[in-house]
Amino acid sequence: MEGFVATKLNEFEQGKISRRTLIEMLTLAVTTVHAAEAQTAAPAGVKAALINHISYTCPNFKQAGDWYSKVFNLDQVGLKETEVTLPFGKKGEQPYNVTAKDVPLTFLLCRTRDLNAPLPNGGGPRPKSTALINHVGYTVADFERNRVRDQLKAMGVANVRDGGLYSLHMTDPFGYDVQISGLANNALTDG
Amino acid sequence: MERFIADLVKRFETGNISRRDFCEGVALAATVYAAGGADANAQAPASGLRMLGVNHISYSCPDYRKARDFYSSVLGMEKLKDDGKARVNLAFGPAPGKGGSFIVARNVAANAPAPARSVVDHVCYTLPNWNDARVNAALKAKGQNPTGRSGSVNVFDPFNFQVQLASSEAENPFI
């Protein structure tokens, strides 16, 4: 991206493009670069583009749904007898501009169900897993740790504590560890 | 966004910012835009946080190397910061810092806290350009046994953790 910007700036300084053209080209690049990258990177095999949803099973899905809705300002859709869906945005929004049409918003699926029941669609019994997702980290907008810490405590969120350089941890109503951060916490900075 | 770029150009022309600052400013704007738009990042809601997405999943297992090899081989995740002993970051989606997510695969800690009363029982990943035949063939070629329906399949990782793969039509919060 920076190389492209520098090239266009050179062309502008050399009089090859107008000021208006420079602004239009950079605006277009800023708002489409990620979609273009994702489209050209369409995989030949199986390659995860984004988390579609997290299936979260707990003793009281309504209580969980209400907590996550309150803390993260999430709407609830698709209420059923044993589950509720919390999309990470409004209908029609694109997650991070991953692609124009093909990747929906991530959502949290809060459920109360028997995990010993067979999987649907002929999947057979669910084997006992020896792995555990011991916490989930969420990215939130405008993350400033001190301000967010105060905000969470004011909402009555339990066990709010610092995590590493860039994040906070807290505990949901069922003792599940939830981490939050901004974009600064990522695969290149964590660990 | 156009006004922001125009302001940057003006500041560059008047010497208020350097060439480097200009280029970095445009690149940063692209990152912020991709992460939910400038408005999303500039305005926190009156109460609560504004969710942008899943940052990472902390995955604890008996042997992180088996998880690393599975998720990188079967789901095409990128191995980053592998310490060779106990943990690795497995990145996917947009670039790190620009909305990408990652799995932190790590060995079970000796002092792991007591488990919660709830559990993440599976994670579903969106695959773009979904094609039933292609997805099933690709998974079988990797030694997996996918089950499910059109647009959605399940496999199990080396530690029997359920992994769902789905298309945008099959798993969409608004459909």
Tens of pLDDT, residue by residue over B35-75, are 554 444 445 566 789 999 999 999 999 999 999 999 999 99
Mean pLDDT highest for which of A22-26, A152-156, B27-31? A152-156
Q: CB distance A104–B174 less than 8 Å?
A: yes
Distance between CA atoms of A162 and A36, rounded to whole angstroms?
Answer: 37
A133 and chain B: CB distance < 8 Å anywhere? Answer: yes
Structure tokens that stand for B132 in this block: 């039933």
SS3 of A54, please?
A: strand
Q: What is the pLDDT of residue B33?
A: 67
One-letter amino acid identity for A104?
Answer: P
pLDDT > 70 in chain B, percent: 91
Q: Are A84 and A61 a contacting pair, CB within 8 Å?
A: yes
Distance between CA atoms of B89 and B77, rounded to whole angstroms?
Answer: 9
Residue B153: closest CA among B139, B142, B173:
B139
Q: Are B63 and A171 a contacting pair, CB within 8 Å?
A: no
Tens of pLDDT, residue by residue over A88-117, are 998 878 777 665 466 888 999 999 999 988
Nearest to A72 among B9, B23, B48 (CB): B48
SS3 of A149, please?
A: helix
CA dihedral of residues B31, A88, A164, B84 (deg, nearest 10): -80
> What is the location of CATH 3.30.720 in chain A?
48-130
B24 and chain A: CB distance < 8 Å anywhere? Answer: yes
Strand intervals (E) in B62-141: 78-80, 87-92, 101-107, 119-126
Considering just the CA atoms, what is the radius of gyration of chain B in Å?
Answer: 21
Tens of pLDDT, residue by residue over A21-63, are 888 888 877 766 654 444 444 445 699 999 999 999 999 999 9
Model confidence, pTM = 0.78
Query: Does CATH place domain A132-191 in 2.70.40.10?
Result: no
Mean pLDDT of chain B: 89
Q: What is the pLDDT of residue A101?
A: 65
> What is the location of CATH 3.10.180.10 in chain A?
132-191
Q: Which residues of B touch A122 (CB under 8 A)?
A: 147
Q: Are A17 and B9 a contacting pair, CB within 8 Å?
A: no
The fold for domain A48-130 equals 3.30.720
Mutation for testing the B interface, residue in A31, A37, A51 having most B CBs under 10 Å? A51
Q: Is the pLDDT of residue A157 over 80?
A: yes
Side-chain-facing half-sphere of B30: CA atoms under 13 Å = 25
Domains and CATH numbers, chain B: 2-42 (no CATH), 53-111 (3.10.180.10), 121-169 (3.30.720.120)
Q: What is the pLDDT of residue A38?
A: 47
